[in-house]
Amino acid sequence: MKGFYVLLAVVALAGAGWLLYEAKKKPVETPSSTAPIPAVSDGFRGYTLGSDSAPVEITEYSDFECPFCAAFAAVQMPEIHKDLIATGKLRIRFRDFPLSSHKYSRTAALAGQCAGEQGKFWEMHDLLFNQHDWAQTDKDPSGVFKGFARSIGLDMDKYQGCMDSQRYAGRIQASYEEGQAAGVQGTPSLYVDGRHYEGHASSDDLKKLVDSLIAVRHKR
């Protein structure tokens, strides 16, 4: 199992764009549920990382169970954060896009939202992706997620109440439908200032793109 993730990391570090390409070859899938989940448009547009005044925004449609998304988060995001987010050039907006082929992707998305309710979405995001063994066992990961919640200092009664009630299921569905409307066909899918990004999902390529967009705007 560890070898699998080492391979993904090596590929991602090399800046290989096939991570997105392979994911996109799969058709858009319907949500994983035996009954339709009504979308709830509560005005929420996703959790952001970076300055509100950043000149460029990337919206990422992602699935916590997706191995390609995990590789992007674990390998590319630290460099993106250092070179682009921390320098004020870029803001990342995370949107849930749980695929039906992933049995527990919606449970993971709920864990992220319930952590976000207590101001710790990104801490949960990092654990869900960086400790991704839960996605390979085909076992209910609720207990693992509960351990993550405890480790980042969440109020466990509030967290469990949020999970049990599926408080944000409608919000997650709204995010999924937003992605469908935008043309998302796989995960991770990136949109740079609202335009679908077709290039390599590597930190180097994204840095070149962001720097070029900023340079063009400065010339205006």
Burial of 107 (0-12, 13-18, 19+ CB in 10 A): buried
Single pTM value for the model: 0.84
Say how far apart CA 131 and CA 207 lie, in whole Å.
26
Average of per-residue pLDDT across 75-102: 97
Helices within 48-201 (DSSP H only): 67-71, 77-80, 105-117, 121-130, 142-151, 156-165, 169-182
- Residue 132: burial class (beta carbons within 10 Å; 0-12, 13-18, 19+): buried
Q: Supply the pLDDT for residue 36.
A: 67
pLDDT, tens digit (0-9, with 9 covering 90-100), for 107-126: 999 999 999 999 999 999 99
- The half-sphere exposure of 21 on its side-chain side, counting CA atoms within 13 A, is 8
Rg (alpha carbons) of the chain, rounded to whole number: 17
- How far apart (Å, rounded) are the C-alpha atoms in residues 73 and 62? 10
How deeply is 183 buried, as exposed, middle or buried, from its count of CB atoms within 10 A (0-12, 13-18, 19+)?
Answer: exposed
Dist CA 213 CA 32 (whole Å): 38
How many distinct structural domains can be found in the chain?
A: 1
**What distance in Å separates the CA atoms of residue 202 and residue 21, rounded to the nearest whole number?**
13
- The residue range of the domain holding 204 is 2-219
Q: Residue 182: give its domain's CATH number.
A: 3.40.30.10
Q: Which of 6-15, 49-58, 151-160 has the lowest mean pLDDT?
A: 6-15
Give the pair of three-digit tokens for residue 122.
């990104």
> What helix, strand, coil percent values describe the chain, rounded to 5?
55, 10, 35
Name the DSSP letter for residue 155.
Answer: -
Interval 122-162: pLDDT, tens: 999 999 999 999 999 999 999 999 999 999 999 999 999 99
Please tell me the distance from the alpha carbon of residue 149 to that of residue 159, in angstroms, as a whole number.
8
Place 37 in a pLDDT band, splitting at 50, 70 and 90. Answer: confident
As a whole number, mean pLDDT of residues 5-26 equals 42
